[in-house]
Amino acid sequence: MLNRSWGVTLIKLLTYLATILLVILVFCLAGFIVIQGIGFLNKELFKESVPLIITTLMVVGLALLIALPLGIFSAIYLQIYTNNGRFVKAMRFSIDSLNGIPSIIFGLFALSFFIYYIGLNRSILTASLIMSIVVLPLIIKNTEEAIKTIKVDQIQGSLALGASKFTTINRVIIPYCIDGIINGVILAIGKIVGETAAIMFVIGTASVIPHSFMDQGSTLATKLYLIIQEPTYSSNGIGSAYGIALILLLIVVLLNLLVKLVNYLFKKRG
Amino acid sequence: MKKQVFFETLYKLSIIFASLLLLLIIIFIFLEGFPALREYGFIKMIFNGEWQPTAKNPSFGLLYMILSTVVSTILSLLISIPIGILSSVCLVRMVNAKIKNIIMFIVEILAGIPSVIVGFFVLKTVVSFLYDHFYYMVGVSGNSMLAAIFVLALMSLPTIITVCVNSLEAVDPMYTEASLGLGANKIQTIYKVELRAARSGIFAAIVLGAGRVIGETMAVMLVSGNAINLPKNLLEPTRTLTSNIATEMSYASGLHQNALYASGIILFIMIMIINIVLLVLLNKGGVDNA
Amino acid sequence: MNNIFEIINLNLWYGSKQALKNISINIDDNCVVALIGPSGCGKSTFLRCLNRMNDLIANCRIEGSILFNNENVNSDSYNEIELRKKVGMVFQRPNPFPMSIYENVIYGPKCQGLTNKKELDSIVENSLKKAALWDDVKDRLHSSALGLSGGQQQRLCIARAIAMEPDVLLMDEPTSALDPIATTKIEELINELKKDYTIIIVTHSMQQAARISDYTAFFLMGELIEYDKTDVIFANPKNSKTEDYITGRFG
Amino acid sequence: MKKILSLVLILLVCTSCKESSNQLEVSGSTSIAPVMEKLIASYEKDNNVKINLTADGSSAGITAATDGVSDIGMSSRSLTKDELKDDLNVNIIGIDAIVVVVNKNNGVDNLTIDDLHDIYSGKKTNWKDFGGINRPIVLVSRENGSGTRDAFEENIKVKTDQGISLVDSNNPVIVNSTGAVIENVAQKEGAIGYMSLGSVDDEIKAIKLNGVEPSEQSIIDKKYPITRDFYLVSKKDNKKVDEFISFILSKKGQQIMENEGFIKVK
């Protein structure tokens, strides 16, 4: 089809059409949240969501703190130190499949393994632990894809110059695939901030400012889910759920910008 | 030299610890789900549609829900993959950088939206539209398979686009120049060469997108109506395996809870099948340059 | 021997930096023209003007006219797709598509709408024969092109270009990434191809220019210093700068 | 990099020691959680004890209390025979009325228990059978196992002796949150749903049952037909738990229950 001129124009048309459709969907969804939530963005809601924001940032921070080194190092090992044998393919395959497990199952795993079995308390720490496991497959996959996109000959170039695999990693691989990893981090942040099912059993519903990771608390997403669950949770019912959703989007925006800023500074200095 | 040994053992430890963690979850699901499979029987569970977990002699038939998951996953991916890939191509190759950054900025945010809110968006728009136009039909409430497909497509689009755009941008410009040098026009260059070169990234996007669709609970439960029936037409309510786990797990106990974990095993197998299909397509498509 | 290319007062800027200054040159058909000069002198940029590959570069401004078979290529009305069908290009690094050998060669013709299997098979056969690659690959046409050696890949790129039956073949340092044996094979191939195509080749090695080209153009700092028969350029160049470069005093 | 990893390890180690001091864990029914949050807030003011609350459903609450993971389990449904263990004591802390709600444009404002039985079992499927507009009825129901659903279906007798609910075979819109019930009933003119009295808001219309208006007075006089009790399940002889429960049953505690739209027990 691509070899006929009508085929080319058709594909071009479809490409533009898909983008227009995407833009409409994306702006409708974003617009819906802003319109529904803007009315409830008053000082009182901001004050009420300060503990939620803090809890959310704690979960994001600790989850990434665990998942990032674990995920990146695992991806490096899978891509560089293995010969892509059958075992490695099977492992990568099962990691991919874990991406599809519904987060409710991670939630139940957290409840019965961390709480019932190990005896941890319901706390922000437990929530962060389970979230680090939830985003682990995402980070491993994104980092591996990033390493794959580095030109093969750049890696061979460095190895050819007698650099060991290890120095190749630091000099060539990590600097070059930072952008891929950053995208993985952004997807992971999105997943952690928006997650409810995986953590609602283990994080409690307290809405006070937590003092330590051992305290309970609710993130923006779990509070929002609770309000939808029982609108009497907040004074103006479901409306404040939209308000919190807006604040949540704000946090996602700030976190994404922060990550990109860190990446930019790292590149300028590196 | 010592630093290198330390880091290389660290890499090894990381992959071992990571796979242990992930294995733990798989074992957990199989451990919890196995009693139901043994007692109620795997075959009976898969080929019987009757799900009455709390009845006197309970039946744990998952057939209708398996079909619902299969239908909703395939149809939603049939929407989100083409739109995702086509719009990623447009964003990377056909639109100036400023527009692309604005759209990507919002798409990245939408990847972070809690699915409950996307569920409410579709509930307030698609579901009420369907109800207003089909209310006269008995048993139609707007909450339907169609709405579930719409919400799943909406949920998976940001993931697919973010990964696709990332892999398209990483395509080596030498392919573009080679293709244009042979007299191919822009569209041919993109679709015949660049997509082929970025193939492994695009397949990663599809796998992540499929994972997001199969694993979605909160949004689907809001719009699908959650009634268990054979997916005959798009306007009837439906319940996917994942929604079933989410709705009933909080009150399930004993064999009922094991049956829910068993459906988790079935989900895991379905995800593996999708991955296998995608891997075969990836390799069958001839050459893999990475 | 009529002129296939007539370039009059060609200037090119990358943003504010001028890369080509007022170049005028006439190139005859069915001969090999070598472009030599120190790196950064604009010879590759000049080569890429001939098939408007510089259009891909964002802030690149071109002035002057490039007449190809007496039509000005530089004007917007001229369709660059038609130009590139007639002016094939081979790049410095072998860049076969991540497809099979067969698919690589038929890529160009297929894009122009040719679908008849028999015709495509014959194109593949004579392009690969012309590129002296047919014997190496005739029994594994459908295996991956990335499995070939560097020299074979470059010859595949040449075969791919020939498949379009162009009038001119542009080569941007085709052998700089290859080992000596593969380089001599490519050079023998160029001597063969000279009969049917005009070949314009950018090269760093003056020996290569002397060996295979009929005419040689010497570029320096974006200017065309001297353009003449190869043996004149290498025996007694008119311009002192050419002589300094030829004898290796700088560059 | 090494520093960070060691930090994580320390964190993991120090958390395994279970904190017993003056902390209480309360978990369970989502219907009780909102009012429980207010009870905890006022109790914590004058007692130095920290009470953690988790809303993960009635059965999860009961299991957590039985296994000792939570000190108090909240349940908005009566416990089943095998849930009732002898080392558990069960207190009723309040009564909640379950109200039937319809779309605001729906003319019907009174139904009897038998009407509800016919509607939810699928015998009658159009509002014109009840004097409303000619429009099919859309059933909105809570998920299996929700305390609210159990109490409602118990009262309108739509469960077969096999324990199977007739509602499931009439393509109901099953949701697992009050917010979703409100949204579905508010946007669909033919919809009918039910929720706890305290949750009704102005987007939907509560209707009379057997001619009785759902109000605190009608519930106290036992005239309103569908009510359910709020249970707290806890292990016996735990001083801190008993003190908290006695606070809830005190005048101050019951007043908080009433402010939230529930009916006092004492």
Name the residue ranges covered by the structural domains of chain D.
Answer: 23-95+230-259, 97-220
Q: For the whole model, what pTM was predicted?
A: 0.85
Pick from B177, B193, B197: CB nearest C53: B177
Determine what percent of chain C falls in helix, strand and coil, rounding each to the nearest 5: 40, 25, 35
CB contact under 8 A, D171 and B250: no
For helices B97-110 and A174-194, angle between their N-to-C axes, nearest 10 degrees: 50
pLDDT of residue B290: 36
* Chains in touch with A (≥3 Cβ pairs < 8 A): B, C, D
User: Which chain B positions have a beta carbon within 8 Å of A11's beta carbon?
Assistant: 187, 191
User: Which chain A positions have a beta carbon within 8 Å of B270's beta carbon?
Assistant: 100
Cα diameter, chain A:
67
The domain defined by A43-269 carries CATH number 1.10.3720.10: yes
pLDDT of residue B151: 94
What are the extents of the domains in chain B? Answer: 66-289
Two tokens at C195? 């009969």
pLDDT of residue B289: 41
**Residue C199 host element (H or E):** strand C198-202
Rounded alpha-carbon distances, angstroms, from residue A148 to A176, A180, A188, B14: 11, 10, 20, 19
β-pairing, D23-28 with C223-229? unpaired
- Map chain D to HEC letters: CHHHHHHHHHHHHHHCCCCCCCEEEEEECCCCHHHHHHHHHHHHHHCCCEEEEEECCHHHHHHHHHHCCCCEEEECCCCCHHHCCCCEEEEEEEEEEEEEEECCCCCCCEECHHHHHHHHHCCCCEHHHHCCCCCECEEEEECCCCHHHHHHHHHCCCECCCCCEHHHHHCCEEECCHHHHHHHHHHCCCEEEEEEHHHCCCCCEECEECCECCCHHHHHCCCCCCEEEEEEEEECCCHHHHHHHHHHHCHHHHHHHHHCCCECCC
Rounded alpha-carbon distances, angstroms, from residue D7 to A75, A120, B149, D14: 23, 18, 44, 11
Who contacts D95 (Cβ-Cβ below 8 Å, separation ≥6)? Answer: D219, D227, D228, D229, D230, D262, D263, D264, D265
State how far residue D138 is from chain B, nearest Cα, in angstroms.
6
CA atoms within 13 A on the CB side of A260: 11
Instruction: Give me the CATH code for the D97-220 domain, please.
Output: 3.40.190.10
- In DSSP terms, which residues pair with D99 in a beta bridge? D195
D touches B, CB cut-off 8 Å, minimum 3 pairs? yes
Who contacts D186 (Cβ-Cβ below 8 Å, separation ≥6)? Answer: D103, D104, D203, D204
CB contact under 8 A, C98 and B289: yes
B touches A, CB cut-off 8 Å, minimum 3 pairs? yes
Rg (C-alpha) for chain A, rounded Å, is: 22
Pick from A116, A125, A238: CB nearest D182: A238
Two tokens at C108? 């160009």
Pick from B7, B114, B217: CB nearest A221: B114
The arithmetic mean of pLDDT across residues C89-102, rounded, is 89
Pick from B181, B196, B287: CB nearest C89: B181
pLDDT band for position C194 (cuts 50, 70, 90) = confident
pLDDT (tens place) for every residue of chain D, 266 residues total: 555 555 655 555 554 444 456 888 899 888 898 899 889 989 988 888 888 898 888 888 888 898 888 899 999 888 888 888 888 899 999 988 899 999 999 989 899 999 999 999 989 989 999 988 889 999 999 887 788 888 899 888 888 887 788 888 888 899 988 999 999 999 999 999 999 888 888 899 999 998 888 888 888 888 888 888 899 999 888 888 899 999 999 999 999 988 888 888 87
| Four-way CATH pick for B66-289: 1.20.1090.10, 1.10.3720.10, 3.40.1080.10, 3.20.20.140 | 1.10.3720.10
Percent share of chain B, pLDDT over 70: 97
User: Which chain B positions have a beta carbon within 8 Å of C89's beta carbon?
Assistant: 177, 181
- A31 in contact with B, Cβ within 8 Å: no
Instruction: Flag whether pLDDT at C250 surpasses 80.
Output: no
How far apart, in whole angstroms, are the C-alpha atoms of residue C8 and residue C24? Answer: 4
Residues of chain A numbered 109-168 and touching chain D (CB < 8 Å): 115-116, 118-123, 125
| Four-way CATH pick for D23-95+230-259: 3.40.50.300, 3.30.2270.10, 3.40.50.620, 3.40.190.10 | 3.40.190.10
How far apart, in whole angstroms, are the C-alpha atoms of residue B273 and residue A228? Answer: 35
The arithmetic mean of pLDDT across residues C129-136, rounded, is 88
CB contact under 8 A, D56 and A232: no
CB contact under 8 A, C160 and B182: yes
> pLDDT tens digit string along B22-71?
888 888 888 888 888 888 888 888 888 888 887 888 888 899 999 999 99
The arithmetic mean of pLDDT across residues C64-76, rounded, is 85
Instruction: Flag whether pLDDT at B179 surpasses 80.
Output: yes
Q: How many residues does the structure list for chain D?
A: 266
State how far residue A40 is from chain B, nearest Cα, in angstroms.
15
User: ipTM surpassing 0.90, yes or no?
Assistant: no
Residue of C nearest to A6 (CA): C113
pLDDT (tens place) for every residue of chain A, 270 residues total: 777 888 888 999 999 999 999 999 988 998 998 898 888 888 888 888 899 999 999 999 999 999 999 999 888 888 888 777 888 888 888 887 787 788 888 988 888 888 888 888 889 999 999 999 999 988 998 888 888 877 666 777 777 777 777 777 777 777 778 888 888 888 899 889 988 889 988 888 888 888 888 888 899 999 999 898 888 888 778 888 889 999 998 898 899 889 888 888 877 775
Residue of B nearest to C81 (CA): B183
Which 3 state secondary structure label does DSSP give B96?
A: coil
Who contacts B182 (Cβ-Cβ below 8 Å, separation ≥6)? Answer: C84, C88, C107, C108, C111, C160, C161, C164
For helices B255-284 and B2-40, angle between their N-to-C axes, nearest 10 degrees: 120
Contact B54, D145 (CB under 8 A): yes
Instruction: Flag whether pLDDT at B287 surpasses 70.
Output: no
Contact A8, A2 (CB under 8 A): yes
> Which position has the token pair 């798009």?
B234
Residue of D nearest to B141 (CA): D138
> pLDDT tens digit string along B240-280?
999 998 888 877 777 888 888 888 888 888 888 888 888 78
What's chain B's average pLDDT? 87
Interface test with B, best of C45, C49, C81 (most B CBs within 10 A): C81
CB contact under 8 A, B287 and C88: no
- CATH architecture group of domain C3-246: 3-Layer(aba) Sandwich (3.40)
pLDDT of residue A117: 83
Rounded alpha-carbon distances, angstroms, from residue C174 to B4, B113, C2, C126, C136: 40, 51, 26, 21, 20
Q: What is the DSSP letter of C100?
A: B
User: Which chain C positions have a beta carbon within 8 Å of A3's beta carbon?
Assistant: 110-115
pLDDT of residue A165: 74
Of A248, A254, A213, A253, the residue nearest A227 (C-alpha): A248
Contact C51, C24 (CB under 8 A): no
Q: Name the least confident of A89-93, A130-134, B154-158, C89-93.
A: A89-93
Chain B positions contacting chain D at CB under 8 Å are: 52-57, 120, 123-124, 127-128, 131, 135-143, 221-222, 225-229, 236-237, 239, 246-248, 250-253
What are the extents of the domains in chain A? Answer: 1-40, 43-269
Contact D231, D63 (CB under 8 A): no
CB contact under 8 A, B267 and A100: yes
Residue of D nearest to A218 (CA): D54
Who contacts B236 (Cβ-Cβ below 8 Å, separation ≥6)? Answer: B139, B140, B144, B145, B225, B227, B229, D171
Of B219, B276, B274, B208, the residue nearest B242 (C-alpha): B219
Q: What is the DSSP letter of C57?
A: S
- C146 in contact with B, Cβ within 8 Å: yes
* Chains in touch with C (≥3 Cβ pairs < 8 A): A, B
Rg (C-alpha) for chain B, rounded Å, is: 22
CB contact under 8 A, B247 and D176: yes
For helices D251-259 and D239-249, angle between their N-to-C axes, nearest 10 degrees: 60
- B184 in contact with A, Cβ within 8 Å: no
β-pairing, D23-28 with C87-90? unpaired
- A176 in contact with B, Cβ within 8 Å: no
**Residue C200 host element (H or E):** strand C198-202
What are the extents of the domains in chain C? Answer: 3-246
How far apart, in whole angstroms, are the C-alpha atoms of residue B222 and residue B144? Answer: 10
- A200 in contact with D, Cβ within 8 Å: yes
Residue of B nearest to C86 (CA): B183
- C235 in contact with A, Cβ within 8 Å: no
Chains A, D: CB contacts within 8 A come to 93
Query: How many C-beta atoms surround the C-beta of residue B36 within 10 A?
Result: 24
How far apart, in whole angstroms, are the C-alpha atoms of residue A176 and residue A153? Answer: 13
pLDDT of residue D2: 55
How far apart, in whole angstroms, are the C-alpha atoms of residue C52 and residue C74? Answer: 8
- In DSSP terms, which residues pair with D90 in a beta bridge? D233
Buried-exposed string D25-64: b where 16+ CB fall within 10 A, e elsewhere: bbbbbbbbbbbbbebbeebeeeeeebbbbbbbbbbbbbbb
- D144 in contact with B, Cβ within 8 Å: yes
How far apart, in whole angstroms, are the C-alpha atoms of residue C223 and residue C45? Answer: 12
> pLDDT tens digit string along C105-124?
999 888 888 889 999 999 99
A touches D, CB cut-off 8 Å, minimum 3 pairs? yes
